[in-house]
Structure formats: C-alpha cells, structure tokens
Structure 1
Amino acid sequence: MGLALSVAGCTSDAEPVAEPPQGMSEQELNLWVSATMRRMSLEDKVSQLFVTYIYGQSADAVDPKNQEAFKEDTPAKVVEHYRPGGIIYFNNDVRDNIDNPKQIAAFSNGLQRAALRTGVRIPLFIATDQEQGLVTRIGPPATAFPGNMAVCASRNADDAKTAARITGNELRAMGVNVDFAPDADVNSNPANPVIGVRSFSSDPALTAQFVTAQVEGYQRSWNVLQTVSATAKHFPGHGDTSEDSHSTLPKIERTKEEWSRIEAVPFRAAAQAGIDAIMTAHIRVPKIDPSGEPSTLSRAIVTGLLRDDLGYKGLIITDSLEMEGVRKMHPDSEIPVLALEAGVDQLLMPKDLPGAIRSVLAAVQSGRLTEARIEQSVKRVLEAKFRRGIVIRPLVDEDDVLETVGAPDHLADAARITDRTVTVLRNEGNLLPFRAPPANVLVAGASTVAVPALAASLQSRGSRATSKPTGTTPSDAVIADAVSAANQSDAVIVLTSGMSTNAAQQKLVQSLVATNKPVVAVAVRNPYDAAYVDRAPAWLATYSSSTGSMESTAKVLLGEVAPVGKLPVSIPASNDPNTERYPLGHGLTW
C-alpha cells in the first residue's frame, strides 16, 4: 500500500506525534500494540527494552566475538535468543558491521527475518550514529554532509532539513530505521572535547531552529518508509563540559534556571517537533540533582526535567551503557535497573546483555520494578515501531538500494549545501580570492584526509599543488620540511585541527607565516583555532575535514563561489576567554 506520514497533536498541543501510516488508524495501532503485548512474556517485554551491538557483517556469519559476548555464533542467533528491541551498527576496529550499501541492506534484512522468526515476531529498531561530519558511520557511496556546525554556518535551516531528509532516506533504504541524530547540545564551552562541531551552535535559539529542521527532515515525508526515527542527544545537554563522558563523569554547574534558558531550548523544540526519541547523557548536574548521579540514572532529570518540565511523551533511550561516565558509581548489573527507575525506556549497549536482562528480571521478581513499569516502556517502543512503518514493512529491497544511496541528485544537493558552509574569518589585504590559481601552492597541516583532498581540488584547477600532511603534533623536523616546501611555493594553505590546545600545530602555522609567503590558515574542525595565530593573513573555518568541504574550500579560495558562512559560535581571544576575538555571526564575503 502507499504509505504517507502526517503529523497531528495526538498527545498535547505542544508535542505533535506521528500518526499511524496512511491506511492504518490509531485504533489499529492500539489493537496491534495490545495484541502484541498480550502474547509477550515478561522476558519478551524486558528484552524489548535493550538495544545491543553485534559482531560481523552478515546475519548468518559466524564471529567468535558473538560467542564470547552472547554465547551465540551469529548475529541472527543473538537476535533469536535474546529478542532485543534493537541493534546498533558500528564501523570501527572492534565492531565492524559496515562494508557497503547492499551488504548493509542484506544484513538488516537478515536480522529482521531472525526477529520475525521468534515467538513475539516484533521487528527490530536498527540504529546507527549517522550525525554526518565528525560522527559518520556509513561512508561513500552514501551521501556525505559536513556536519551540524558547518550546516548551521550557512544560516539556512532548509539546508539542515534537506541534509536530514537525504540521510534518513538513504539509511532507510539500507534497512536502518533509527538515526541517533541530531545532536541537540548547545556548545557553550569552547574547551568541550566531545561535542564541538557536532553541535549546531553556542546559541540556544539557533540550535533549536536547526534541530527542529532536522527532526522534520528525518521524520516527515510523503512516504513513512523513507523516514527514520530521529534521536535528539544528549539530554540534559552535554555542551558545557570540558570532559568526555566516554572516559569520565563530567559535571555541569548549571542551575535549573540557567538550564531552562540554555540547554533546555533545543530539547524543548525537538519535543514540540514530535521527535521519536531523546537520548540521555552521562553527566552530573549537581545543582539540579544533588545526588551526583549521572543524568541517565537520575529520576530528577529524566522524569523531572524531560517528562514533567518539558512534557515529553516519546521514547527515552540511554547513551551507551559501556561508557565510563555511567559506570563510575555503580556495577554494570545495577545500571539498567537504576535507569528504568529514573524513567528511561530503552537501554543502549549494556556491557553484558545477558546479565543486564537478568538484572531487570530479578528487579521485577523482587518487586523493585513492577511489570506495569516495564509495560509502560514497552508500549512506547512498540508504538514507535508501528508509527515509523517498521511493523508494516520491516524488510527493504536489496536490489534497489543503490538507486537511493548516493543518488546523483543527493550528491548535487550535498555539494550545494557544503558550498554555503565555508566561513571567512580574516582576509588581510584582500588576499582572497586568489585572482588566478597559484602556480605552485603548498597544502600542509593536520589532516591526512583534508590535506591531499584540498591539494587535489587545487590541482584540478590548474595549480601545481604539493601535499604535505604533518599530523596533529608535527615534530621540529616535519615543521622544517614544511617551511622548506613553503619557500619554494607561491602560496601556502595550512590546515589546523584542534590547534587551540596544540603547541606543535601553533608552531607550524607561525613558522609558515614567518616565510612571508601568502598564508591561508583553515580550521577544519573547531573554529576556535583561529584565535591562536593572528598573524596569518587569512583564516577560514570549514568545521569539517571531508573531501566535500575541501572541494568547497577550493571554490572559495579561487572565487568560484562567494563565501556566505557565518560563525555559529563566538571565538574567544586566546589570552582572555572573556573577550571575543570573532563574535557569533561573524563572516566575511566578497
């Protein structure tokens, strides 16, 4: 049947929720949820509250890591045995689930068939972190965008919506129906080591505008089967930390009034836009919850702030329960129970899935948790699966996936969007745009991806471009080699990444500037780098080291496109964090 998504205020005026797909009524949704829950055992219900990792790239491929973690050989057997509510895909050295679009589609179908073979016959959430930019799990040929802060630099919320629509469309074609995006954190702390360019902005209202646009892009389409569940993260807001919750338990010194004015704004907007899910953060907010518990385990935050204050009715999922931020105060067996007591619905990546399931079952059997409390969350899980069309059509067409993923119109949209992200912060003596491609240009700097990519883009435009990746901490010998190459060049472009806290990169830029060659510095990650070497005649910010961002940078350098990017954050002076070197909204053009 043809399925379409409409939006209506089903829970409250402040929070629209997706209606059932066209052809299916609210009554049919309720009947399916009720009938499904009646045939579920307590074990089935508890299992739906977990989203787990698996090992391998095929549902039926044997991987010894699955046996070690789950006492089952294949991903399909893990699904059949534990009947989880969802699976998450990764592409790292530890868990490499991703090869290419057709493989992902086949893998997703294999996992869904395994879920449908179980007695409960409930299809899976299949999730990944496709924020774009810095956090991108599925690379080319999938369409790449430069990430949140970059897109926000355009000040074009329609670009954010288009990027989310294309990303969601391509994910769904591969059988991925949940994206753990967008990041709704307000990056108010320039020293933030884990959010940075993953955030849209340091301005709460601007962040909220772009979060809303992405929720609409991910979740609203004429065809629900081309959409994914969006997930705003990391509640109550990870933007004002100077520590990484992957390795420790950060603390945010916000009062509730401050939180309401800053961190709450994008999450409130996401709830009002009808977002399917919100993810918790493993951070402490002692002025809101004096217990010191991480937010994920805090009833004062999960229920008090998110449910009661913001009125959010949708699905609440934890950030990974493998992260040290949530494991600092409690054993792994206790964490799932505490999260459910706090008001969470789904538990992402427990360190020990079998043990976590046993812990929750034991808490129900002891009376610590009631079965009614479990059913409350199970109902939200089932409703979200039904509304997103996963129940109606859990499988995807493996033969058609490449017609969607990396489609020419998607790539063209991505290039146009990326062209609008480049921000010119400084242009002393009108150095830019170059009136002609420099005959000999050195491209040096931190990124092993961006340096050769920008050199190739300039080479294709007629320059003889020398590529010298120097690494993020160049030695004196590496710096001397770059300086020697600069002396033989007509112009120098140096890329920085995290230079604000890196003396070696600062020395590299200063040494290149000292050659008296025309030097253009480009911050390809956090724009805060631009405050640290003011003597560079020109400074650009791309917020991204992707090949697409480097192509757009070449266009700006040579005047093919006029820069329109404006800073989504303010950049403090390097010697005084209370003084602005470049204010929010700053951006030059020609």
Structure 2
Amino acid sequence: MNKWVLVPFIIIISFLTACQSADPIDLRDTPPTGIPKSNPSVGIDAKDSAPPNEDQSSFIEDEQEQDPIIQQLEQMTLKQKIGQLFVVGFDGLVPNDQIKTLIQNHHVGGIILFSRNIETSKQLIQLTNDLKQLNQSNQVPLFISVDEEGGRVSRLPSNATKFPSNLFIGGKDNPLLTHDIGLVIGKELAAHGINMDYAPVFDIFSNPQNTVIGDRAYGTTPEIVKEHGTAFMFGLQKSNVIPVVKHFPGHGDTIVDSHIGLPVVYKTVEQLKELELQPFQEAIQEGADVVMAAHIQYPNLDGSGRPASLSKILITELLRNEMDFQGVVITDDMEMGAIKKHYRAGEAAVYAVQAGMDLLLYSHQYDLQLEAIQSIEVAVEAGEISLHQLNEGVERILRLKEKYRINDAPLSEAGLEVVGSEEHQAVRDQLID
C-alpha cells in the first residue's frame, strides 16, 4: 500500500488510542505534520530481513526519487543553499534596500523582526506580506521570526495579549494554562504572518545573580522548567508556529550577559546532565523542532575556547549524537558581544557551520551579514565545509518548512480579529484568579 494512503488511518488510530488512554490530557494534541524523511526500511525488520533483491532496490530508488524535498534540494544552486542558512534582520517599519538585496540576491532563509520593525498590527501584517512578496522569485518560503517569550521579552504590538513573566507563570503550577498561553501567543503571531518564535526558554534560573535570564525562566528546578516549557512548546506547535527551544546547553547559571561579553561556565558534562541538560533532553523527547545554542564557553568540555554555538563537541557530539536531536539547530544572535568581541563575522559563521549549526542568526548589520554569507561560500568552495554537510543542514531546514506548511501567501487583515480578543484576554485573566 502506498505510504501516503496510510497516513489518515495512522492519525485516526492514534487519536482513538489517545481518547481511550487513562493518562492525563496530552497537551500536544495534533502538532503539525509534514512530509516524513525518506526511510526505505519502514515496515522491514532490519535484523531479520535479507538484502533487498533487484526489484526491492528499484522500489527504494523510486521512493527516494519521489521525495519532493530531495528533488527540491537537488535543484538548488550553491548560492541558494547557502542563503537558506541565514536568518537576518534590518532596520525600519518597511523593507529597506538592504533586506531586499538579502532576500532577492542572496536567497536568505529567514527574517528576524524586532521592536524597531513593529508599530501596529496593520503595519506588521503589511510588513510580513511585503517580505513574502519580495521572496516570490525564490523557490523556498521565508521563516519570519521574532522573540515573543512573554513578560519582558515581547515584540508584538501593544494591542496583542500580554502575559506576565515565565517565572510568574511557572509559579502558578498549571501546565494546561501554560499550554493555552503558548496557543494564544502562537495564534497572534500567526495572525501577523510570523511563523517562528524564539521561545520557550528552557533555562533553569539556578543562579540568583543571573539577570539576563532571571524571570524569563519558568523556575529554579528542572522539573518546573520541563513541565511548563514543553506545555508552551505544544501550544505554539498547535497554532502552527515553530517553537525554538533555548538557550542550549543552559544559560541559567551565568552572570555575564552574552549580549555584552562571553560567559564562562566551568561545569563538566556530568554536572550539566544533573541539571541544565534535563529540560533540553525532555524537549527533544517530546518533539522539539529547533534548538538555539548559547554563546557560552565551557572550558571543561571544549578546550578550544569556542562557545557552545561554535563548538563541534557541544553541538555535534553532545546535542546531536549523545542527546539524539535530529532537528534544526540555530545560533543565538551572532552579533552579540560574546561573539563580536572575539571573532570576525565571517570567521564565526564558518566555525558555527563546522560545529554543526543549521541556521545562523545575524540580526543587525548589513556588512556583517554579507561578510558571513560570503565566508560560507568561500569555505564550501575551499572544502572547509563539505557539500555533504551543507546539504544535510539545508535538508533539515526544508523539511521543517514543509512540516509547518510555511508559504509566502499574503494574509488578510481580517485574521487580526483574534489579536487581543476577549477569548485570549480570558486566558490571561486566569493568571490573576
């Protein structure tokens, strides 16, 4: 039977099984699903099966050839592939010439918006529609992303539903409510044309002197952070907004603000496993799509002096191989002081990709964005970054966009009715009761 024919039956069976379960409500409900990664061994016991015969080999080849993501990847030029690695920012309430060049000439994979880009809901939806229009000549749609954690990290216009800090929310000890908060924020982001959110925060507020995280964390223990972080993540997924789990491997026990300088944590991997890594491992097991790596140096894990975001030991060996994360990994902003004071933009970009990063976030300066893009091009052509590794990263990006059905279709202002609605305000009001 064709594998696509099975999908509706699998979904129905899974739903009925969940309804019959005596377990608590599954906050995940039905998160987005997309085209699965090609896996010729599905339905075959690899231990007992004989090598495929000629007919089976032909079938496998046909299946791989029919994978639309692989087909799309094979049709892309080197420049288009490299562009997909970049999420970039710009100044202004409307697209400027620089962002037009980055989209149309360099084929960047995504945009990050800040308060400098956002004024009102109508202005914001016009901006996201304009960005999508600029990308019409490209075959891959844009990530349009923002930091909307709630609390003091909020970018949406003033009419959007506003929530208190994560620490306050975690203190309410109501994961169902945290899930609904994620759902509300996700719906309001989606209404504005935003499809990726740099949230939830999976850091543990374990150091009282830590001001950069502080009340952005859900709590002071792994258990609280795991419970509420995953609940918020499920809410975003249900609203068809991509959650980005951050800041791996944990920003909760730092004093230095990585926006300004390079924090150093002297813990061993065993110590990290006892605390910081637990929420991230939970997020991975519960289906996290994207993990953001922090600009934190771990001398006892990587003697090179490179922060986690540029460390192959932390990204490829620990996050991917040991913790088994198969999704997309994105850097924190590569223009933060932790990187900018120690590395040139292009140098840091190459180190990040070599470490195993898929997406590089350059949110401000046009000259640094161009330097980073050009440095990756040179590194690939020189063999410092293999084409195989580049293809693997781009494939993960394409599959994520397909999973969430990301597209460049313009949105109507009619959808803004949900923003700050009574229904959404009622969710917020539950925090006060």
Structure 1 residue aligned with 2:127: 107
Structure 2 residue aligned with 1:56: 92
CA RMSD of aligned residues (A): 2.4
Structure 2 residue aligned with 1:242: 255
Native 8 Å contact 2:132 2:410 kept in 1:
no
Native 8 Å contact 2:79 2:107 kept in 1:
no
1:78 matches 2:102: yes
Structure 1 residue aligned with 2:4: none
Structure 2 residue aligned with 1:415: 429
Q: SS at the partner of 2:182?
A: helix
Structure 2 residue aligned with 1:190: 208
Q: Percent identity?
A: 34
- Following TM superposition, by how much is the alpha carbon of 1:49 offset from its aligned partner in structure 2, in angstroms? 0.1
- Following TM superposition, by how much is the alpha carbon of 1:98 offset from its aligned partner in structure 2, in angstroms? 0.5
- CA–CA distance in structure 2, aligned partners of residues 297 and 312 of structure 1: 17
CA offsets, 1:262-307, max 9 Å, x none? 0001111111121111001001111222222111111111112211
- CA–CA distance in structure 1, aligned partners of residues 271 and 81 of structure 2: 38
Structure 1 residue aligned with 2:292: 279
Amino acid at match of 2:94: S
Amino acid at match of 1:379: E
Native 8 Å contact 1:19 1:26 kept in 2:
no
- CA–CA distance in structure 1, aligned partners of residues 203 and 156 of structure 2: 22
More relative contact order, 1 or 2 (CA 8 Å, 6+ apart) = 2
1:330 matches 2:343: yes
- CA–CA distance in structure 2, aligned partners of residues 344 and 42 of structure 1: 17
CA offsets, 1:76-100, max 9 Å, x none? 4431122100000001xxxx11011
- Following TM superposition, by how much is the alpha carbon of 1:329 offset from its aligned partner in structure 2, in angstroms? 3.0
1:38 matches 2:38: no
Q: TM-score, structure 2 length as denominator? A: 0.84
- CA–CA distance in structure 2, aligned partners of residues 6 and 49 of structure 1: 32
Structure 1 residue aligned with 2:242: 229
Q: How does 1:403-552 map to 2 (within 5 A)?
A: 403-417=417-431, 419-420=432-433
Structure 2 residue aligned with 1:545: none
- CA–CA distance in structure 2, aligned partners of residues 275 and 318 of structure 1: 16
Native 8 Å contact 2:192 2:416 kept in 1:
no
Instruction: Give the paired residue count.
Output: 383
- Following TM superposition, by how much is the alpha carbon of 1:74 offset from its aligned partner in structure 2, in angstroms? 5.8
Q: SS at the partner of 2:346?
A: coil
- Following TM superposition, by how much is the alpha carbon of 1:399 offset from its aligned partner in structure 2, in angstroms? 2.4
Q: SS at the partner of 2:130?
A: helix
Amino acid at match of 2:291: I
Q: SS at the partner of 1:250?
A: coil
Native 8 Å contact 2:258 2:337 kept in 1:
yes
Deviating beyond 4 angstroms after TM superposition, the runs of 4 or more aligned structure 1 residues are: 4-9, 16-19, 24-30
Which segments of 5 or more consecutive residues in structure 2 lack a partner in the other structure? Answer: 1-7, 15-27, 39-62
- CA–CA distance in structure 2, aligned partners of residues 409 and 241 of structure 1: 38
Query: Which structure would you say has the larger Rg?
Result: 1
- Following TM superposition, by how much is the alpha carbon of 1:58 offset from its aligned partner in structure 2, in angstroms? 2.4
Amino acid at match of 1:154: K
Native 8 Å contact 1:229 1:275 kept in 2:
no
- CA–CA distance in structure 1, aligned partners of residues 12 and 88 of structure 2: 30
1:116 aligned to which of 115, 136, 150: 136
1:309 aligned to which of 322, 328, 349: 322
Q: Which has the higher strand share?
A: 1
- Following TM superposition, by how much is the alpha carbon of 1:315 offset from its aligned partner in structure 2, in angstroms? 0.4
1:400 matches 2:418: no
Summarize the Cα distance change of 1:297–1:58 in structure 2 as closer, same or farther, 3 Å threshold.
same
- Following TM superposition, by how much is the alpha carbon of 1:341 offset from its aligned partner in structure 2, in angstroms? 0.7
Native 8 Å contact 2:202 2:229 kept in 1:
yes
1:372 matches 2:372: no
Q: SS at the partner of 1:132?
A: coil
Native 8 Å contact 1:102 1:398 kept in 2:
no
Native 8 Å contact 1:128 1:178 kept in 2:
yes
Amino acid at match of 2:392: Q
Summarize the Cα distance change of 1:183–1:366 in structure 2 as closer, same or farther, 3 Å threshold.
same
Q: TM-score, structure 1 length as denominator? A: 0.62
CA offsets, 1:123-179, max 9 Å, x none? 100000000101001132111111211100101111111100110111011100000
Summarize the Cα distance change of 1:149–1:180 in structure 2 as closer, same or farther, 3 Å threshold.
same
Q: SS at the partner of 1:149?
A: helix
Native 8 Å contact 2:301 2:313 kept in 1:
yes
Q: Which has the higher helix share?
A: 2
